[in-house]
Amino acid sequence: MARRRFSFSASSAPEEPQCALCERHVAHVTRHHLVPREEGGKHGPTADLCQPCHSSIHLLLPNRDLARRYATIEALRAAEELQTYLHWIRRSRVERISNRRKRRK
């Protein structure tokens, strides 16, 4: 009886998810509402972001600006407020940063 050989190609191996903003492959991603829920984006488009990118967006940009000026990934990538962060994170292997969001009152 002939033995079966199983070969796994790279395409059949599970890929790590990719952050839509920094484009790094990471272990986990979170869902970011491109228009914040508080600004009417509850059922709107979302993007998969790594935790450092997601936290940094909400730290550096107010929800009103996210809704009005940065409602696409391309607009977020071009945001002047995120350029230093994006330059740093793209070279980094950081998977998690402490949640630095401001406390809501």
DSSP class per residue in 13-52: SPPPPB-TTT--B-S--EEEESS-GGGT-TTS-EEEE-HH
Q: Is the pLDDT of residue 12 over 70?
A: no
Report residue 22 as tokens. Answer: 């920094």
| Per-residue pLDDT at 6 | 46
* Per-residue DSSP letter, 82: G
In this predicted structure, the answer to whether residue 8 has a pLDDT above a threshold of 50 is no
Predicted model pTM: 0.77
- Report the helix count and the strand count for the chain, using DSSP H and E: 4, 2
Per-residue pLDDT of 38-88, as tens digits, reads 898 899 999 999 999 999 999 999 999 999 999 999 999 999 999 999 999
Longest dimension (CA), the chain: 71
User: What share of the chain has pLDDT > 70, as a percent?
Assistant: 80
* pLDDT value of position 7: 46
Mean pLDDT of 77-100: 89
Token pair belonging to 37? 């829920």
In this structure, are residues 25 and 18 in contact, taking their beta carbons and an 8 Å threshold?
yes
* Residues 58/69, Cβ–Cβ less than 8 Å: no
- Residue 61 DSSP code: S
